[in-house]
Amino acid sequence: MATLLPNLENFYVPFNQLTGSLPPSLSNASSMVQLQLQVNNFTGSVPSMASSHNLLRLNIAENFLGSGKVNGDDLGFLSTLTNARKLQALVISINNFGGNLPEQIGNLSSSIEILVLDNNQISGSIPEGLQNLVNLEVLLANGNKLSGAKSLSIIGNMQSLVQLRLDNNDIAGYVPLSIGNLNRLLVLRLANNYLDGGIPTAIQNCKSLKLLDLSNNNLSGVIPTQLMGLTSLSMGLNLSYNHFTGSIPIEVENLKNLGSLDLSHNMLSDSIPRSLGKCVSLESVRLQANLLRGTIPLSLDSLRGIRLFDLSNNNLSGQIPKFFEQMHSLQLLNLSYNKFEGEVLTEGVLNNSIIILVIGNVNLCGGLPGLNLPPCNLRRPKKRLSYKWKVCISTVSSMILLIFIASSLLVFWMKSKGKQHIVSSGDDFHTRVSYQSLHKATNGFSTTNLIGVGSFGSVYKGVVNINGEEITIAVKVFNLQHSGASKSFMTECEVLKNIRHRNLVRILTVCSGVDYQGNDFKALVYEFVVNGSLENWLHPVESVDDPPRHLKFHQRLNVAINIASALDYIHNLGETPIVHCDLKPDNVLLDEDMVAHVGDFGLARFLESPGETSSSIGIKGTVEYGMGNEISIEGDMYSFGILLLEMFTGRRPIDESFSDGVNLQNFVNTALLGQGSPISKVVDPILLNEILHGRIPEKALISILEIGVACSFDSPQERLNSSEVLTRLNRQLALLMIFSKPKREAKGL
């Protein structure tokens, strides 16, 4: 190749089915700047790259390169890359490279920022020279056979690290004090190793940390209170499968942004701290298999976003709190093998025996038939009320009745004054942001700041200074010359001012005034969501300078769960059901943690009740509304089903390959029924590689496609609702976790 094309600078052939070995002529590719060969079926060894002086990026991930031999020379080519003095990114993950990392890896370009080595057969210690790569931001070496007690102490000197993954290796020793030097670190995963000792208090210096996973090690001692001071933790804290003792620190209340807490399978004692109820962002709490005692604190009533709550295999007692019935996001409540007593709840979300598990609590009774508990003794001793108590109760009841009547009259009077709350809300916001400040923040709404154009306006990226701190924002400017733009502005204000959920785009403020020409000006100001729209990830525009990004299977599944969670919130959990009416990849944004946020409520409608519908005439939203169907929650679920199919097939709803009445829904459905194309021809080719490599079971893909089809049935009454979808998708996520269970369990340890 390099012989025929000596001036070739960019060779980009990812996501194909290319086979064979890499051409030896790569050794002569002196002009090569980018070499992208990922996700193919290449085998054999990697030739010398000694002549590639200008190389910036090398990506050979997800092939079958290397022999996997412990004493082989699979990684010898890394030593030849020391001549590439401009190298910025090196990705060799998910291959079969064996042997030790060469010492010369420390002589790679000082400009290198990304080094990805995960899921190979690499063994031995991490070379000390690696700490010379002072600008390295991403180091992923998980899923190998790395060992050595000094491996982690080297990492502590690499202060530019933002993401560090060494999980699923054989690394022993202690978590070094120098870990506190990594104050830029966002993600730290050291799970499934053989680490001893405790968590150093220096961890408190990792002020940017969003995810910490130290699970499946031999760590011991108490959980340091300093760890609970990391208010930046949002993605997760996982200390499970260790030997921690003592109590859960009451300082856990500081973790108000934390989404997932896993302290299971330790030896933690004492009671569950009441302060845990202040962690209002929690969606998953796993405290099972400890020595916890006492009752469930009533303060946990505030954890209304909880999906999974596992307290099984402890010594907890008392009655099951009634507030669990009102946790509408709850998908699983496991209270098995404790000492709970009394009647099991059957109202609200607990009117489903799949959600609650109570086996092994001998003093429980009642509940749903599926729980197989004995009936409760309904005989209770009757107590006669004294005359004083009767008078007291009568007086209080009368007062409550009077208050209720007065409140009703007040509400009626306020409603009769007219619905002015949108305008007043806009006026309140208007005092906080001006046209001038937004004009300055976006460089005069310049085209270089333009990041999107929609039906009713344009979106600009901007930077504002608040209390001396620069904050990036997204400004949606409405084109008021467009019919319906003003109404869209008012609709978004009305919808977004009263809802708040981690999977909805967050509105910061609004601007309603005039521009420098005296024309009316209306804009919404949002938090800037750094990774852009789901559309750009599913259907990227290829560019040599900016190679397309792709989502892996588990990322797509998590995004689907995020979207379903947002729909469940607006459909079922707010004061008034809201129909989005325009759910599509363009209106789903991904943040830096790849968490999805649903946005653009300009076409949204309020319903008085979940079963209500209204006309969709004039609505130019997603497919079903475009066909004139009624606006309903079921319409949103149709859009979600099509979106889910698009995410896992990589095909648009009306793909150019479809003809003769075929659309995405029936294309997938006929394949599932075995009457059309095989599943291998339906799935996104990018995901097919994960299935062929055995990392994802085909059954999981089929189950997700079935959910998409069931959401987009022609009959609205037959479609799944958002709660059912959440349950099914979370079940698939749990099965995937079992499929990729920790190495130690696989070894039988």
How far, in Å, CA of 162 to CA of 722, rounded? Answer: 35
Query: Which residues contact residue 268 at a Cβ distance below 8 angstroms, ignoring those fewer than 6 apart?
Result: 223, 244, 245, 246, 247, 248, 287, 290, 291, 292
Neighbours of 294 (CB within 10 A): 13
464 vs 431 pLDDT, higher one: 464
E strand segments, 355-429: 356-357, 363-366
672 touches 648 (CB < 8 A)? no
384 vs 738 pLDDT, higher one: 738
Q: Residue 395: its pLDDT value, please?
A: 53
Q: What strands, in cross-sheet order, belong to the sheet with 41-44?
A: 19-21, 41-44, 64-65
Active site residues: 582
213 touches 167 (CB < 8 A)? yes
Beta bridge partners of 506: none
Mean pLDDT over all residues of the chain?
A: 84
Binding site for ATP: which residues? Answer: 476
Question: pLDDT for 249-300, tens place per residue?
Answer: 999 999 999 999 999 999 999 999 999 999 999 999 999 999 999 999 999 9
What's the rounded mean pLDDT across residues 352-374? 88
Binding site: which residues? Answer: 476
Residue 119, SS3 per DSSP: coil
Question: pLDDT for 153-209, tens place per residue?
Answer: 888 889 999 999 999 999 999 999 999 999 999 999 999 999 999 999 999 999 999
- How many helices (H) and strands (E) would you count in the chain? 16, 38
How far, in Å, CA of 343 to CA of 320, rounded? Answer: 8
691 touches 705 (CB < 8 A)? no
Q: 533-749 falls under which CATH superfamily?
A: Transferase(Phosphotransferase) domain 1 (1.10.510.10)
- Is pLDDT at 530 greater than 50 in this prediction? yes
Tokens of 596: 């999805």
Longest dimension (CA), the chain: 105
What are the helix (H) ranges across 417-484? 421-430, 435-441
- Is pLDDT at 623 greater than 80 in this prediction? no
The CATH topology of domain 219-377 is 3.80.10
- Is pLDDT at 436 greater than 50 in this prediction? yes
Q: Residue 22: its pLDDT value, please?
A: 93
* Predicted structure pTM score: 0.64
Going by their DSSP bridges, the two strands 520-527 and 507-514 should be labelled as antiparallel
Query: Which residues contact residue 215 at a Cβ distance below 8 angstroms, ignoring those fewer than 6 apart?
Result: 191, 192, 238, 239, 240, 241, 242, 262, 742
Q: Does domain 420-528 have CATH number 3.40.50.1370?
A: no
Query: Which residues contact residue 391 at a Cβ distance below 8 angstroms, ignoring those fewer than 6 apart?
Result: none
What's the rounded mean pLDDT across residues 305-321? 94
- Domain edges within the chain: 219-377, 420-528, 533-749
From residue 605, give the alpha-carbon distance in Å to each of 222, 490, 553, 571, 615.
51, 12, 33, 11, 10
Residue with tokens 């079963």: 611
Q: Residue 110: its pLDDT value, please?
A: 92
From residue 243, give the alpha-carbon distance in Å to each of 179, 198, 203, 230, 269.
21, 9, 19, 22, 12
How far, in Å, CA of 277 to CA of 253, rounded? Answer: 7
Topology alike, domains 219-377 and 533-749: no
167 touches 144 (CB < 8 A)? no
